[in-house]
Amino acid sequence: MNQFLPINKKEMQQRGWDEVDFVYITGDAYVDHPSFGAAIITRVLEAKGFKVAVLSQPNWKSTADFVQFGKPRLAFLVTAGNIDSMVAHYTVAKKKRGSDAYTPGGKTGRRPDRAVTVYTKMAKQAYPDVPVIIGGLESSLRRFAHYDYWSDSVRESILVESGADLLIFGMGENQMIEIASRLDSGEATSTMHDIKGTAYAVDVRDTPYVGTECPSFENVKSSKKEYAKAARIQQDEQDHIRGRVIKQRHGKMMVVQNQPMPPLTTSELDWVYSLPYARAYHPSYEKLGGVPGINEVMFSITHNRGCFGACNFCSIAFHQGRYVTTRSKESIVAEAKKLTGHPDFKGYIHDIGGPTANFRRPSCEMQKEHGLCKGKKCLAPQPCKNLEADHSEYLEILREVRSLPGVKKVFIRSGIRYDYLLQDRDDAFFRELVKHHVSGQLKVAPEHCSAAVLDKMGKPHIEAYIEFSKRYFQYTGEVNKEQYLVPYLMSSHPGCTMKDAVELALFLKRNHIRPEQVQDFYPTPGTISTAMYYTGLDPYTMEEVYCTRNPHEKALQRALLQYYNPKNAPLVEEALRRAHRMDLIGSSDKCLVRLQSAPRKNNRPPRRRKK
C-alpha cells in the first residue's frame, strides 16, 4: 500500500520532517483516493517536491490542532471537503442530516457550518503571518456575493468573509502548482494577482482596469434585479478562452476573479491520475467504522472533466467549466489494471464516468478556438446544429476494460446524457450500454415533463426521454435482459406551478413510473436556478419566474410525484384542489387519489356556527 501523508505530529516526525511546507485543512476525513479533491491536490504538491501534512476535521474550538505541525513554511490550504459544509449538514428542509458520508463511522458534527470561513479564521489566529489559500467546492461556488439558502440572505464573497489571502476556483492543480512555486521562491501572495483560476480581494483603489464589473455586494443585497444581472455576468464569463476578468465591489474592497485556468490537457490529466494514491481511507479510521463515502467510488474510474450540458440547477459548469477534457485510453486502462490487483476487488468496476459519463470530446470544433457560446446551451431546449455526437472512443475504452483478466463487469453509474446519446447516428454504444454496462437499472435525469419547467432547468423537452425510453426497452428486450430505467425527478424548481406538478404526476401515472425518491429543488450557491429562486427573475430574460418558497406548497408538489403512496393522499388531494383538478379525485382509473374528505369551497375549513 502506498504511504499516506502525515495526519499528526507523530507521523510527520516518523518521516524525519521538522516542518512542513503546507498544512492542508479539510472538513472531510482523509481519504487518499482520486475521487477526493484533497487527495489530488496533496499528491500533486508531493509530486512537485513539497512536504504536505493533512489536518483532517480539526477541532475548531481552539487552535491546538492548527499548531500541531508547527508553523507551515509556505501556507495553509483550506477546503470544506468534497461538498459544501451546509449541504453536508442540512437537508433541503433545513433539517439536520442524520449521517455524514465523509466522516468516520458516518457520524455528524465533526465539521462546523461554513467550514472554510471557520477554518481560515482559526489558521489566521494560530499563525497570523502565514498565508491562507482557500479552494474546493464551497470556496469556488461562493467566490462572489451569493444568496445563502440556509440564512435566507445574500452573503458577501467568502474571500471577504473568511479573510483568506487567495481563492482557487475550479479544478485547482495548475493554480496550486504555480502558487506553491512562487511561494517557494519567496514571493508574497499579495503580488500573485495574475494567476488564472484564482480570485483575490484588494482595496478599490487597486482595482485592475481590465475585465468587466458586475453589480456590487451592496447592490445585489438590496436589489433582486441587480442580483440577477450579476448572476448572468458571472456565469457567462466562466470560459477559459473568451471569459473576462470579473470585478465585484464589497464596500472599500474589490473582489477580482481572474480568467478561468485552462482545463488540464490529456497528458496532464493522465499524470494527475497516475500519482501514488493509496485508494483508501487513513487506517486510523478503521476502528471508527471507516469512511462510508469511499464505498461507491472505491472501484470507480474518472475519465473526463467538465460538462457542456450545463443544467441551470447544477454547479458543475460554474466550478469545473463547460469545456470537456478527457484522459487517454491508456491511462484509464492502466488504472483499471491497478484495480484488478486490489485485495478487495471482486471483479466489478462500478463506473467509468465523470460529471457526464458519455462525454468524451468538446460538443463542437468551433469551441476549441472561440470558446463555448455565451448565453446558449449545447443540448437544450434542442441540440445545437453544430453538435458532434460520437461515442466511438468511449466505447473502445469500455470494450478494452471489460476484456481485462479479472474484470467481470464494467458498469456506468454516473449520469448519461440520453439526449446527447440520441444524436449519435451509430447505435453501437447504446446497444452495448444496455447489454454490458447496466447493473439492473439505469439512472437518467429527465427531471420533469413540463416544457416550461424544463426550459427553466436548461433541460431538453420530455420527448427526448420518451424516445430514449422506447429504444432502451427495445434493446433490452433484444438481449433478453430484465432491466429498468430509474428517472431522477425534481419538484419545486423555479417555474414549476402546482399545475405543472400535476402534469408530471399524470405523466408518471401514464407511463407506470413510481419513483422511490424525489429531489426537492435545493438552492445552492453558484447556479442560475438559485438566482431564479431568490430573485423571481430569469437572469437571461429578466422575465418573472414563479417560485414556491412555502414549505407546505413544496410538500404538496413533492407528494404529487408519489401520488400512489397512501401516506401522501391528504396532501395530493389538497394539491389537486389548489390546481382546480377535482376531476382527478375519485375512484376512476384516471384519478390520482381517492376522495379523502368532503369537498370544501375554495379549500377553506367550514365556519363554526355561533351558539
Strand partners, 154: 147
pTM: 0.94
pLDDT score of 216 more than 90: yes
Mean pLDDT of 126-132: 98
- For 545-576, the pLDDT digits (tens) are 999 999 999 999 999 999 999 999 999 999 99
Mean pLDDT of the chain: 95
Q: Are 257 and 199 in contact (CB under 8 A)?
A: yes
**Between residues 290 and 439, which one has the greater pLDDT?**
290
pLDDT score of 597 more than 80: no
Mean pLDDT of 562-591: 95
Mean pLDDT of 333-353: 96
CA-to-CA dists, residue 181 to 111, 195, 403, angstroms: 30, 12, 42
H-helix segments, 486-527: 498-510
- The alpha carbon torsion through 316, 318, 322, 323 (nearest 10 deg) reads -110
User: Half-sphere exposure of 251 toward its Cβ, with a 13 Å CA cutoff?
Assistant: 5
Percent of residues, the chain, with pLDDT higher than 90? 95
Sign of the CA dihedral 42, 46, 47, 49? positive
Residue 455 and residue 451: Cα distance in Å, rounded? 6
State the DSSP H helix or E strand holding residue 527, giving kind and residue range, or none if neither: none
Which band of pLDDT confidence, cut at 50, 70 and 90, is reported for residue 611? Answer: very low
Nearest of 496, 488, 474, 478 to residue 550 by alpha carbon: 496
- For 501-534, the pLDDT digits (tens) are 999 999 999 999 999 888 999 999 999 999 999 9
Nearby residues of 407 by Cβ (< 8 Å), 6 or more positions away: 336, 340, 347, 349, 401
- Chain length of the chain: 611
DSSP 55-95: EES--TTSSTGGGTT-S-SSEEEEE--SS-HHHHHB-TTSP
Strand partners, 369: none
- pLDDT given at position 548: 95
- For 267-286, the pLDDT digits (tens) are 999 999 999 999 999 999 99
- pLDDT given at position 606: 53
In the numeric block, the cell 470544506 is attached to: 80
User: Half-sphere exposure of 446 toward its Cβ, with a 13 Å CA cutoff?
Assistant: 22
Q: 3-state class of 26 per DSSP?
A: strand
- pLDDT given at position 517: 82
Residue 302 and residue 351: Cα distance in Å, rounded? 8
Nearest of 142, 379, 374, 378 to residue 237 by alpha carbon: 374
Residue 327 and residue 265: Cα distance in Å, rounded? 8
Mean pLDDT of 422-431: 97
Mean pLDDT of 299-322: 96
Percent of residues, the chain, with pLDDT higher than 70? 97
Strand partners, 155: 146
Q: 3-state class of 459 per DSSP?
A: coil
H-helix segments, 359-514: 367-370, 392-402, 418-422, 428-436, 451-457, 462-478, 498-510
pLDDT score of 117 more than 90: yes
Beta-carbon count within 10 A of 588 CB: 8
pLDDT score of 207 more than 80: yes
Q: 3-state class of 287 per DSSP?
A: helix
Nearby residues of 575 by Cβ (< 8 Å), 6 or more positions away: 498, 501, 502, 556, 557, 559, 560
- For 219-255, the pLDDT digits (tens) are 999 999 999 999 999 999 999 999 999 999 999 999 9
Most distant pair of Cα atoms in the chain: their distance: 88
